[in-house]
Amino acid sequence: MHVSHLSLADFRSYARVEVALDPGVTAFVGPNGQGKTNLVEAVGYLATLGSHRVSSDAPLVRMGADRAIIRAALVQGERQQLVELELNPGKANRARINRSSQVRPRDVLGIVRTVLFAPEDLALVKGDPGERRRFLDELITARVPRMAGVRADYDRVLKQRNTLLKTAALARRHGGRQMDLSTLDVWDQHLARAGAELLAQRLDLIATLRPLADKAYEQLAPGGGPLGLEYRGSAGEAMAAATNREELYGALLAALGEARKSEIERGVTLVGPHRDDLLLKLGQLPAKGYASHGESWSYALALRLASYELLRAEGNEPVLVLDDVFAELDARRRERLAELVAPGEQVLVTAAVDDDVPGVLVGARYAVSGGTVERVDR
Ligand SMILES: Nc1ncnc2c1ncn2[C@@H]1O[C@H](COP(=O)(O)OP(=O)(O)OP(=O)(O)O)[C@@H](O)[C@H]1O
Ligand SMILES: [Mg+2]
């Protein structure tokens, strides 16, 4: 698929902007702070309902405005669609598909597919487990949009279960009346049910991604691998032995049972996908804490390229977004990356100067400056 038109109102630095887009490569070029990333961030938001830079919506709304609108026209084969999101920080966001009446924002997931690579992705390798969980879960949602509902269920159950545990922990500490813990059993089942579904998807994703990431890394940094992607589950060994969703459910329930005493002491859920991690190994060593800056960068890029290949192989080709990527790479890696991505259906690139966009990436160019986005004839 590709985006044929992007329209923003009160999004980030833009009061209003309209950008017509072609398939193939489009480069947004301009000095720092002019709004290049803001444009591609909006495209990414349509795909994930989140920004790759901030965890809340408030910074996405133009200072002084109270809501932002992202609208995009999409083309997938013969099919055209219009997607619109209204961001209302502090209130519910709204969505529309094809100008029809409102739908839940979540219903938009899966329509726009993107793979976005940006400097922030270094955190995939160097950052906290939450970064890697988000990577996995966003990709899962792109593959299987109904998983957005499962993730929401899981988060809701987790929150309620934590509230219950906190109450139990407080009661215990202050010598209050012991809580009736049978309610907790019910929450355990709900948590394990949604958790097992999420776990099954994560494990399947990692197995599919592993060879693709290895291949991408080899293409970017020949001889530098191999990569090792290993899931580190908080449910321990029982989980490692589980081969299907039912067994994962059983493993999670058992692990919750074992953790119950410490959970009541600490007042928080200690087992489940929200506590898991994806261990990234480069050769024999963990990448986090060991890999060099350049290696970490290539690793993160390999994960994104692998995501791109995966979504591509599974049907609807995603839009590839490369935000400020080329300036970070040495000449050889730059050329390799450019050759890899050049045939993509739509590739959106941002760069501070023309020279940062490799020659093989021929296509449309836009100059971004002072809130305007203007096509440059070349
Ligand atoms: N909510 C907002 N309201 C108004 N302006 C904003 C808002 N959020 C960000 N900006 C402004 O947008 C600009 C940053 O835009 P952006 O990140 O797209 O720059 P860029 O062109 O990608 O720059 P660089 O080359 O440094 O990456 C900053 O000047 C910032 O102050
Ligand atoms: Mg930028």
Residue 156 lies in a domain: yes
Q: What is the pLDDT of residues 172-205, one digit of tens each?
A: 778 766 667 788 899 999 999 999 999 999 999 9
Residue 97, pLDDT > 70, answer: yes
Domain count, the chain: 1
Helix 331-341 / helix 293-313 crossing angle, nearest 10 deg: 10
The residue assigned the tokens 């795909």 is: 47
**Calpha distance 112→319 (Å, rounded):** 8
Q: How many whole angstroms separate alpha carbon 207 and alpha carbon 98?
A: 36
Report CA Rg, the chain: 22
The domain in which residue 274 lies consists of 122-315
218: domain CATH number is: 1.20.1050.90
Order of strands across the sheet with 277-282? 227-232, 277-282, 285-286
Residues 6+ apart with CB under 8 A from 55: none
In a domain, 284, yes or no: yes
User: Taking all residues of the chain, what is their mean pLDDT, rounded to a whole number?
Assistant: 93
Per-residue pLDDT at 178: 66
From the CA of 352, which ligand is nearest? 1
Give the mutation target among 10, 36, 38 for probing the ligand 1 site: most ligand atoms within 8 A of CB: 38
- Is 24 inside any structural domain? no
What pLDDT digit, counting tens, does each position of 133-159 carry?
A: 999 999 999 999 999 999 999 999 999
pTM, 2 dp: 0.94
**Residues surrounding ion ligand 2 at CB below 5 Å:** 37
User: Taking the CB of residue 167, how many other CB atoms lie within 10 A of it?
Assistant: 13
The Cα–Cα gap between 70 and 87 comes to 8
Establish if 184 belongs to a structural domain.
Answer: yes
Q: Which pLDDT tens digit goes with each residue over 109-128?
A: 989 999 999 999 999 999 99
Does any domain span residue 149? yes
Residue 150 counted as domain residue: yes
| Average pLDDT for 50-70 | 96
How close is the Cα of 61 to the center of ligand 2, in Å? 17
Q: What's the pLDDT at 143?
A: 93
Q: What is the pLDDT of residue 169?
A: 83
User: From the CA of 323, how far away is ligand 2's center (Å)?
Assistant: 6
How much distance in Å is there from the Cα of 54 to the middle of ligand 1?
A: 12
Measured in Å, residue 35 CA sits from the centre of ligand 1 at 5
Ligand nearest to the CA of 32: 1
